[in-house]
Structure 1
Amino acid sequence: MKLRLWPDTLYGRLVLILVVGMFGGQLFTSTIWFETHDNRTLEIPARLFASRLADTARLLQHAPDDAARHAIIEQLGDARYRLHPIDAPAGPPAAPNRDSVAQRTVGNLLSGVIERRLGEPVEVRLLDAHLRDESGRHKGIFSLFDSRMPTGDFHVQLKVPNGPWLDVQANEGQAGMQTQPWSLVFDYLVRIYFVRLTAVFLLALVAVRFAVRPLKQLARAAEALGRNIYRSPLPVSGPLEVRTAAQSFNRMQEQLTEGIAARTRFLTAVSHDLRSPLTRLRLRAEMLPDPVWRERLRGDLDEMEAMVRATLHAVQGAEITEARHDIDLGSMLESLAEDAREAGHPVTVDGKIARPFPGYPRNLKRCLQNLVDNAIRYGGDAVIKISDTRQTVTVVISDNGPGIADEALLERVFEAYFRLETKHAEDARQDARQPTGTGLGLTIARSIAAAHGGTLILKNRQRGGLDAVLTLQRDS
């Protein structure tokens, strides 16, 4: 299975963007935190060094002469604290190993501690201040991962009150304190990264779901519009973008309904206008002296009227203009079968439905009636079987006709005005007591099935005959 790094849904993409964005921001701010922690690690050695330097300056300040000062410097100096008197201060180094902000911070810290200890301002110039680990070098913020006790290296020049300038290079420790690098990093990752990212992830799941809910409602409304164009307009609520989309959707629905209504009015007008010339033709046909031609012309006129009427019914019948109701499909099918038996056609119903099906009664009855009529027309009889599950209701209407030998025609028969001529259908054409088809019954039936969120297909049976399989989807 191919791993999808980029989710396919808008919901997943927004959650991923929020979480990755938060992680990136946290990763960036982590460098600031580690840098600050690195500076705080230097603060303890700086304070210790400043206190020691202030004590040295106080001793040199009160020394009686230069010889005494030289003796004090000799006594106080060691390998980690080197003192050298100088005539004048040196300039700042050309390429300091720390940025100017950090240099000023440490310099201000040293000056503040020394001035408080001596009780008067003292001129202090910081030339260098940095941390180094046990190996003698410093890795910056990365030393927190492997250095247990970093020490501070300092290079300053100090003007002793009433005394000379002093150049001091010192290495100061952490006053016996040890850092626990991996423990520190783990604690930071768990408390900051894990806790915060978990909180953001959970918040994103809730917030994004709430944000995309109007889009899901719009998608469900678009799907429902395909089944019932006369459904209630979509509520205009939510953010501005969602309200704009809902208003556009409602305007589209209104335009579609107006277009369908105009088409229906047009076809109704055409049907009405055609009746007058058809009536005149029928009257003139009755005046023909030849009974054979009179009968043929009468049949053609009957077929023309049936096609006009069927076209109008096709437009009106596939439109959903009623509200959904719970339908007892079993009773509806039994009623259709009883009507067919009264007309002399053997139709049976097998199976039952466990619970009512929510649908459009008039349209669904028309769909089933068309399928039963087709089975009778091409097979002479019909066997109806019902099966019901939690999500679907399946109605199979079978006949004992010849079926459709050409598999390609199993789909073409759903096209408008397409008719298959079989011997039984031809006999029905010659028998005025049996209705003849116009090629619109299956077209209307499939449209109504789609309006219910279902499907309608035809299948040849192995032992002859045809199955019309109507599958209807329940909402839940």
Structure 2
Amino acid sequence: MSAQLRRMAARLWPDSLFRRLAIILFAGLLAAHLLSFGLVALNVFGPSNELSDDYFMRAVATEVAILDRVKPEERPAWLERLARPTYRYVLKGGGEVYAPLRRRGELFLAGLRAELGADHDVNYVYFDPPTRSKRGMLIHLKDGSPLTMEYLAQRRVMSLWLPAALAVQLCFLAFFTWIAVKLATRPLARLERAANSLGSDLRREPLPEDGPKEVARAATAFNAMQRRIAEQAVERIQILAGISRRLQTPITRMRLRADFLGDSDAREKLQGDLQEMQTLVKQGLALARGRDEIAKQRCQTDLHALIDSIVCDYSDAGESLRFSGERGVTILTHPQALRRIMINLIDNGLKFGEDVAVAVDVQRSNRITITVSDRGPGIPEEHLKSVFLPFYRVEASRNRETGGTGLGLAIAQQLVSALRGTLTLANRDGGGLEARLEFSS
């Protein structure tokens, strides 16, 4: 049973730090507030009840003394003067005598008897015994005349404005709790945003190292981590770019020497292998330079003109492409990077499929969508995300016609991320693959 209660409590407990801190802080303030109110109530209402009972006893004793002194025929006129909002006097007897149920009633009755003296008899009575809804006190004056005091309304113990004041105070507690927790968790939200954007921009501005000590230390550690990652990434890019550049020279020499081979079949195979190596080196260099080339070199680019020029180049090379889209659409981007993305996606469609189509769609939410679709075999669902990894190929063979190098989509994904866009792949109904690029205009 305890395990079930723990699981239920875990489901009810909020999963965000903001809500948890707000609940804990508000619960503590509420408990302290209620405890303070309870102590004040015990301190105020306890003595005030005693004081009010003492005042009430003295008032009744004074009023009874007045009725004792006036003549019996003058007493009815005095009853109007002695009436109060909570009780009144009637010159009659009757009613069912009863003993008080609470100790306070017993003490009040004993005190009133002491105030009135032995010449007066006082008892609690019910005026309607079946229902016992109307109560009062039966007092006998010195001459034996009955005097009944009827309760008209219960004395108010608590002011009507007090619950409203408590509600207002609780609202203030909730409001200031929200502000306090919001201010306390704001640096954490800022750290979360910085961590999420670190993957796409290692050169972003460092976090401000201010605020509480714990938050400042966390920001300092994060900035140091960001610098280390950026330095390591730059070092790896420089190594990869250096190796790629150095490999181009021996590959070029090997291609020249292959031209002197006598066997034409062996020469063609060797030339093909060297061409594949050179392509791999160029794409590796492009992957290494990708983000550095973009940097801040962006400009307003006519999207229709850029893609139309790419499609025309393929058409001049004998490839069949279809292009549709609105004219006059401009986007702030790096034109060479976007051109390389489109070439990689179109090459991928032409290599593995047919009936390749490029389309540009401008949505009302200022989102620009570019799709490159084909009617090829598509990609199995379990490989749709993995194909963006460098050197990952769904085609297991190293055939130059179908295998490729495994870097085309990785380069495209890297450049799209640097341009602050998204690239997704999806299989089309009826066969084929659709690559979807989305940018903010």
| Structure-2 change in CA distance of 1:178 and 1:411 (3 Å) | closer
Who is 1:43 aligned against?
51
- Is 1:460 matched up with 2:433? no
Cα deviation digits, residues 13-40 of structure 1 (max 9, x gap): 2332332222111111122122012222
Cα deviation digits, residues 133-179 of structure 1 (max 9, x gap): 952335xxxxxxxx9x994877xxxxxxxxxxxxxxx99xxx99953
Deviation at 1:11, TM superposition (A): 2.5
Who is 2:412 aligned against?
445
Matches within 5 A, 1:4-403: 5-36=12-43, 37-46=45-54, 135-138=101-104, 151=108, 179-181=155-157, 184=158, 187-192=161-166, 194-317=167-290, 321-323=294-296, 329-352=303-326, 361-379=335-353, 382-389=356-363, 390=365, 392-400=367-375, 402-403=376-377
Q: Aligned AA for 2:361?
A: S
Q: Describe the SS at the equivalent of 1:246.
A: helix
8 Å CA contact retained: 2:349, 2:356: yes
| Structure-2 change in CA distance of 1:409 and 1:191 (3 Å) | closer
Deviation at 1:9, TM superposition (A): 2.4
Choose between structure 1 and 2 for higher RCO, CA contacts under 8 A separated by at least 6 residues: 1
Q: Distance in 1 between matches of 2:251 and 2:283?
A: 16
| Structure-2 change in CA distance of 1:244 and 1:150 (3 Å) | farther
Q: Aligned AA for 2:47?
A: N
- Is 1:416 matched up with 2:423? no
Q: Aligned AA for 1:11?
A: F
Q: Describe the SS at the equivalent of 2:209.
A: coil
How many residue pairs get aligned? The number is 356
Farther off after superposition, 289-298 or 327-336: 327-336
Q: Describe the SS at the equivalent of 1:227.
A: coil
TM-score by length of 2: 0.67
TM-score by length of 1: 0.62
Q: Describe the SS at the equivalent of 1:386.
A: strand
Deviation at 1:450, TM superposition (A): 4.3
Q: Distance in 2 between matches of 1:135 and 1:298?
A: 113
Farther off after superposition, 28-37 or 243-252: 243-252
Q: Distance in 1 between matches of 2:15 and 2:246?
A: 54
| Structure-2 change in CA distance of 1:205 and 1:361 (3 Å) | farther
Q: Distance in 2 between matches of 1:359 and 1:269?
A: 28
Aligned Cα RMSD in Å? Answer: 4.2
Q: Distance in 1 between matches of 2:215 and 2:327?
A: 40
Gaps of 5+ in 1: 53-132, 139-146, 155-169, 431-435
| Structure-2 change in CA distance of 1:214 and 1:31 (3 Å) | same
Cα deviation digits, residues 200-232 of structure 1 (max 9, x gap): 222233343333333222222222222222222
Q: Describe the SS at the equivalent of 2:361.
A: strand
Q: Distance in 2 between matches of 1:282 and 1:225?
A: 42
Deviation at 1:318, TM superposition (A): 5.0
Cα deviation digits, residues 352-376 of structure 1 (max 9, x gap): 3997556555544432231122223
Q: Aligned AA for 2:272?
A: G
Q: Distance in 1 between matches of 2:302 and 2:322?
A: 17
Gaps of 5+ in 2: 1-7, 61-98, 112-121, 124-148
Q: Distance in 2 between matches of 1:211 and 1:327?
A: 43
Cα deviation digits, residues 84-116 of structure 1 (max 9, x gap): xxxxxxxxxxxxxxxxxxxxxxxxxxxxxxxxx
Farther off after superposition, 292-301 or 446-455: 446-455
| Structure-2 change in CA distance of 1:283 and 1:338 (3 Å) | closer
Query: Percent identity of the aligned residues?
Result: 31
Q: Describe the SS at the equivalent of 1:467.
A: strand
Farther off after superposition, 329-338 or 35-44: 329-338
8 Å CA contact retained: 2:392, 2:407: yes
Q: Distance in 2 between matches of 1:235 and 1:320?
A: 28
Deviation at 1:259, TM superposition (A): 0.8
| Structure-2 change in CA distance of 1:22 and 1:405 (3 Å) | closer
| Structure-2 change in CA distance of 1:48 and 1:411 (3 Å) | closer
Cα deviation digits, residues 17-66 of structure 1 (max 9, x gap): 332222111111122122012222113445788999xxxxxxxxxxxxxx
| Structure-2 change in CA distance of 1:454 and 1:282 (3 Å) | closer
